[in-house]
């Protein structure tokens, strides 16, 4: 079945001729621990696709991943092609049991053991020196490797059935918001991959925290659900990723240098006291409408009915960071489906999980922020 060519696919130069594969969609688990015999059979087929060098998108607790065999250089090449992603952007290797970390990393420092005990399985990715058997194609030419042991039951079962090592970036076309449901994956990758394992909507909604353990003190390269404070409690000291540092010199998480998470419309973040934020956004959207734009607002429940834009979307309740994290990418995608051209978003406090929320939101906005 052929996918509709979207603006984002044109933008990164994906060709329609490439969309020839039939993408099978199988439903699995929906968050349950146990699988039915049919689901087991589907996961077995998915695992075989991975072992044979094919690609399968699958749910994790953070976002959906686009999986291929991490030990097969050809699989890495296919992942880059399907996503339209530059091949110097390394992939995360997903494992399904602690013991396998030693097969991916050359050395496993004591800090990694403590972190594994505290946060694995779960939304933390560790950067470690790469073992020789991991191909350079998987690590984008780097001598280090990103390793993660996800907690989602379907992810772990698939990794086990797929040979134990699945390289997976987020299952979106490069530059778009990460997928938090199988429908998002389908919109981006249908016709480009063999299978989508639909495990329902994800629980967290933002990608894993990435921690570089090859430097001292360890450095957060991408904030996520495992916060700076949580890491500090286990490690003593960690260096927080400073916003904007990726721009200077070689970025440590190469992916962070690319345009990310962006909706098609122009997104502006508006920060300030709630009443002023509402007034400012309403003034701007009124002007935009006169200029023929379709306007959108992403706001918190409490302020929602005060906005006058064409499309007003609720990202969650004020202060409910878990809810906001879970809905963020999906709301950004909804503006795309409604062809909104000017989007305004409230800003959120950048503490705890808020750090990851603001990291993604500011990237999506290309760092366009108005402070009132
Ligand atoms: O939650 C997640 O991490 C999801 C799910 C599917 O596991 N995956 C994900 O992958 O977000 P991706 O490829 O979209 O983002 C991985 C990030 C990129 O910014 C990449 O540059 C960085 O991790 N990365 C991977 N290997 C690295 C390495 N050896 N050194 C530094 N950064 C690395
Ligand atoms: Mg990604």
Instruction: Write down the pLDDT at residue 249.
Output: 36
- The crossing angle, in degrees rounded to 10, of helices 321-337 and 353-364 is 20
Nearest CA to ligand 1 atom 17: 255
Distance CA 153, CA 349 (A): 32
Q: Are 28 and 197 in contact (CB under 8 A)?
A: yes
Q: How confident is the model at residue 261 (pLDDT cuts 50, 70, 90)?
A: confident
Question: Looking at 34-38, 99-103, 149-153, which range is the least confident one?
Answer: 34-38
Band (pLDDT 50/70/90 cuts) for residue 29 is confident
pLDDT of residue 347: 98
Nearest to 352 by CA among 326, 317, 321: 321
**If pLDDT is split at 50, 70 and 90, which confidence band does 34 have?**
confident
To test the pocket of ligand 1, the residue of 127, 175, 210 to mutate (highest count of ligand atoms within 8 Å of its CB) is 210
What secondary structure does DSSP assign to 47-79, as a single string?
A: HHHHHTT--EEE--SSS-EEEEETT-HHHHHHH
127 CB under 6 A from ligand 1? yes
Per-residue confidence (pLDDT) for residue 245, from 0 to 100: 41
Given a cut of 70, is residue 202 above it in pLDDT? yes
pLDDT at residue 301, rounded to an integer: 98
Question: What spacing in Å lies between the alpha carbon of 222 and ligand 1's midpoint?
Answer: 9
- Is pTM beyond 0.85? Reply is yes
The backbone torsions φ and ψ at residue 282, rounded to the nearest 5 degrees and listed phi first, read -65, -40
Q: Is the pLDDT of residue 2 over 60?
A: no
Counting ligand 1 atoms within 8 A of each CB, the residue from 121, 146, 222 with the most, and so the one to mutate, is 146
Q: What is the dihedral of CA 186, 189, 192, 193, to 10 degrees?
A: -60
Q: First-to-last CA distance in the chain? A: 48
- Residues forming a β-bridge with 170: 65
pLDDT value of position 18: 55
d(C-alpha 292, C-alpha 222), whole Å: 37
* Cβ neighbours around 266 below 10 Å, total: 16
Q: Which residues in 179-294 belong to E strands, given as ranges?
A: 195-198, 209-212, 219-222, 266-271
Instruction: Tell me the average pLDDT across 334-338.
Output: 94
For residue range 53-108, list pLDDT tens digits in order: 999 999 999 999 999 999 999 999 999 999 998 878 899 999 999 999 999 999 99
C-alpha 49 – ligand 1 centre gap (Å): 22
pLDDT in tens, 162-193: 999 999 999 999 989 999 999 999 999 999 99
CB distance 23 to ligand 1 below 6 Å: no
What the block records as the tokens of 10 is 């044109």
More confident position, 9 or 92: 92
Distance CA 285, CA 294 (A): 9
What sign does the dihedral 169-313-316-32 (CA atoms) show?
negative
pLDDT by residue (tens digit) across 273-324? 999 999 999 999 999 999 999 999 999 999 999 999 999 999 999 999 999 9
Contact 317, 332 (CB under 8 A): no
309 token code pair: 């834009």
> Could you tell me if the CB of 125 is within 6 A of ligand 1?
yes
Task: Please state which of the ranges 24-38, 217-231, 245-259 shows the lowest mean pLDDT.
Answer: 245-259
What's the rounded Cα separation, in Å, for the pair 326 and 316? 9
Higher pLDDT residue, 251 or 370? 370
Is 207:170 a contact under the CB 8 Å cutoff?
A: yes
Asked whether 141 and 38 are in contact (CB, 8 A), the reply is no
Mean pLDDT of the chain: 91
Q: Is pLDDT at 8 greater than 80 in this prediction?
A: no
Q: What would the two tokens of residue 317 be?
A: 């309740």
Distance CA 204, CA 49 (A): 27
Euclidean distance between CA atoms 178 and 188, whole angstroms: 10
Q: Find out whether the beta carbon of 179 lies less than 6 Å from any atom of ligand 1.
A: no
Average pLDDT over residues 260-281: 93
Question: Mean pLDDT throughout 230-236?
Answer: 96
Place of tokens 């990726």: 246
With 90 as the cut, is the pLDDT of residue 146 above it? yes
């Amino acid at each position: 079945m052929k996918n509709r060519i979207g603006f984002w696919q044109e933008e990164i130069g994906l060709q329609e001729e490439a969309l020839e594969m039939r993408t099978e969609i199988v439903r699995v688990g929906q968050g349950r621990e146990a699988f039915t015999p049919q689901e087991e059979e589907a996961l077995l087929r998915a695992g075989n696709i991975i072992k044979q060098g094919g690609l399968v998108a699958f749910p994790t607790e953070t976002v959906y991943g686009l999986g291929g065999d991490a030990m097969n250089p050809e699989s890495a090449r296919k992942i880059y092609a399907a996503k339209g992603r530059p091949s110097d952007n390394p992939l995360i290797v997903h494992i399904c049991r602690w013991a396998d970390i030693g097969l991916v990393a050359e050395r496993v420092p004591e800090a990694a053991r403590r972190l594994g005990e505290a946060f694995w399985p779960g939304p933390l990715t560790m950067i470690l020196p790469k073992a020789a058997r991991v191909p350079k194609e998987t690590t984008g030419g780097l001598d280090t490797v990103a390793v993660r042991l996800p907690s989602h039951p379907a992810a772990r079962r698939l990794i086990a059935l797929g040979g134990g090592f699945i390289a997976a970036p987020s299952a979106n076309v490069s530059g778009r918001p990460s997928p938090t449901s199988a429908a998002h994956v389908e919109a981006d990758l249908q016709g480009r991959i063999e299978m989508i394992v639909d495990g329902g909507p994800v629980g967290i909604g933002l990608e894993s925290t990435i921690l570089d353990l090859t430097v001292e003190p360890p450095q957060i390269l991408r904030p996520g659900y495992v916060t700076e404070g949580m890491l500090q409690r286990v490690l003593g000291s960690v260096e927080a990723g400073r916003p904007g540092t990726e721009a200077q010199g070689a970025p440590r998480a190469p992916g962070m240098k690319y345009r990310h998470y962006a909706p098609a419309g122009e997104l502006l973040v508006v920060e300030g006291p709630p009443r002023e934020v509402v007034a400012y956004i309403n003034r701007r959207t009124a002007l935009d409408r006169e200029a023929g734009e379709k306007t959108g607002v992403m706001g918190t429940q409490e302020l929602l009915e005060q906005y006058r834009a064409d499309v007003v979307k609720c990202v969650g309740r004020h202060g409910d960071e878990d809810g906001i994290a879970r809905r963020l990418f999906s709301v950004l995608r909804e503006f795309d489906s409604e062809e909104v051209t000017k989007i305004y978003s409230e800003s959120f406090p950048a503490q705890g999980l808020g750090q990851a929320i603001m990291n993604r939101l500011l990237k999506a906005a290309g760092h366009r922020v108005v402070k009132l």
